[in-house]
């Protein structure tokens, strides 16, 4: 039985994307000599809409290159 019909972009990929974005943001703060002012949960709560938009764009780019 093939499960090819299932969505390959499962929630874990979004979580991984969000985690990577958080650490990239944290690294920017550290590079500027500052400490990240938000916890991971606060970062998500404050930026969820932007993260979803960025993930959609990222997904399109990845899907385009893998096709």
66: closest CA among 8, 18, 27, 3? 8
What is the pLDDT, as a whole number, of residue 65? 81
User: Which DSSP string corresponds to 20-67?
Assistant: HHHHHHHHHHHHTT----S-HHHHHHHHHHHHHHHHHHHHHHHHHHH-
pLDDT in tens, 11-56: 889 999 999 999 999 999 999 999 989 999 999 999 999 999 999 9
């Amino acid at each position: 039985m093939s499960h090819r019909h299932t969505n390959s972009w499962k929630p874990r990929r979004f979580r991984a994307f969000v985690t990577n974005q958080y650490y990239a943001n944290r690294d920017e703060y550290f590079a500027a000599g500052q400490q990240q002012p938000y916890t991971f949960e606060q970062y998500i709560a404050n930026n969820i809409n932007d993260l979803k938009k960025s993930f959609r764009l990222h997904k399109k780019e990845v899907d385009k290159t893998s096709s």
